[in-house]
């Protein structure tokens, strides 16, 4: 399929940095004219740019290292993890997104029975391995050390055949206008695949992610099942949460659980 080839081509360009049209034609066994048509589509994604004789990967927005993100709002993220874990029922299946917050749900699943965890996050896989009561399904693909996760076509194809009860999602930014957003196209596309195959979608994000919009939107805020955060968000968010009957969960000092 052309869509799969486009994603593979984008991955290849991002890895190589700069490639010629001839290289792409040989790599994907297509004509130069087909390469040009594919590149026209990729240029619209704003992840690559034309250079003399070929194409180059655009510099992606700087994403903080996982260790740096880990240090930020650490205690708040632990509380978010504990609250989110209350949404996991025995004998249910969940998807855990990559990020520094989502894996903090796992320590609170130690007493749950029959829970299946699907994830592309290396950190979540490592954390989940400590709990023998959990069944863990790992998504393969190309490893990204910045996000400590696997991605690309392999991971997205695996998601096509997996359905989960709840997807616990992270986001680089959250706003009412653009919804849940991420910095890179491939990561955002994987997130889109994950939420498409989930019965309900839960956002796990501390207060610093709100009122910030990153490059690519992957889910509409209004379609969330629940928002788990460390502080009650502003009135505009509360109005939308009430209107769309979204579950809002915050720590005890912020009214432990409030449903609008």
- Whether 114 and 209 map to the same domain: the answer is yes
In which domain, by residue range, is 51 found? 2-57
pTM: 0.73
Average pLDDT of the chain, as a whole number? 87
What is the pLDDT at residue 212? Answer: 84
Q: For a pLDDT cut of 70, what percent of the chain falls above it?
A: 90
Spell out the alpha helix ranges (H) of the chain. Answer: 2-16, 21-28, 32-45, 66-71, 74-85, 122-128, 153-160, 185-196, 235-243
- Average pLDDT of the segment spanning 239-259: 79
- Whether 197 and 112 map to the same domain: the answer is yes
Which CATH number do you get for residue 19?
A: 1.10.10.10
- Average pLDDT of the segment spanning 104-117: 94
- Whether 217 and 236 map to the same domain: the answer is yes
Position 258 confidence tier, pLDDT thresholds 50, 70, 90 = very low
Which CATH number do you get for residue 215?
A: 3.40.50.1360
Long-range Cβ contacts of 32-41 (<8 Å, 24+ apart) = 38/2, 38/5, 38/6, 38/9, 41/6
- Whether 160 and 120 map to the same domain: the answer is yes
- Average pLDDT of the segment spanning 210-220: 87
- Whether 44 and 80 map to the same domain: the answer is no
What is the pLDDT at residue 97? Answer: 96
- Whether 115 and 27 map to the same domain: the answer is no
- Whether 74 and 200 map to the same domain: the answer is yes
What is the pLDDT at residue 168? Answer: 98
One-character DSSP codes across 120-139 = -BHHHHHHHTT-TTSEEEE-
- Whether 172 and 253 map to the same domain: the answer is yes
- Whether 34 and 141 map to the same domain: the answer is no
Phi then psi for residue 44, to 5 deg, are: -70, -20
pLDDT (tens digit per residue) in 59-86: 655 444 455 545 556 788 899 999 999 9
- Whether 171 and 235 map to the same domain: the answer is yes
Q: Name the DSSP letter for residue 47.
A: S
């Amino acid at each position: 399929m052309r869509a799969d080839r486009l994603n593979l081509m984008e991955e290849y360009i991002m890895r190589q940095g700069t490639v010629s049209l001839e290289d792409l034609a040989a790599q994907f066994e297509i004509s130069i004219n087909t390469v040009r048509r594919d590149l026209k589509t990729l240029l619209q994604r704003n992840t690559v740019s034309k250079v003399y004789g070929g194409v180059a990967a655009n510099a992606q927005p700087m994403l903080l290292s996982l260790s740096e993100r880990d240090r930020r709002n650490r205690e708040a993220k632990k509380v978010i993890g504990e609250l989110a874990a209350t949404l996991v029922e025995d004998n249910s299946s969940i998807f855990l997104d990559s990020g520094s917050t989502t894996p903090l749900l796992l320590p609170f699943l130690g007493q749950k029975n029959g829970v299946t965890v699907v994830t592309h996050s290396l950190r979540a896989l490592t954390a989940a391995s400590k709990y023998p009561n959990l069944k863990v399904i790992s998504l393969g693909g190309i490893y990204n050390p910045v996000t400590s996760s696997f991605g690309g076509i392999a991971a997205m194809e695996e998601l096509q055949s997996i359905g989960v009860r709840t997807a616990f999602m992270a986001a680089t930014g959250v706003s009412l206008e653009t919804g849940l957003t991420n910095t890179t196209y491939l990561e955002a596309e994987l997130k889109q695949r994950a939420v498409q195959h989930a019965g309900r979608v839960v956002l796990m994000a501390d207060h610093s992610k709100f009122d910030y919009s990153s490059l690519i939107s992957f889910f509409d805020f209004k379609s969330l099942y629940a928002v788990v955060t460390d502080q009650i968000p502003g009135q505009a968010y509360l109005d939308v949460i009430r209107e769309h009957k979204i579950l809002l969960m915050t720590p005890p000092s912020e009214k432990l659980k409030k449903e609008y």
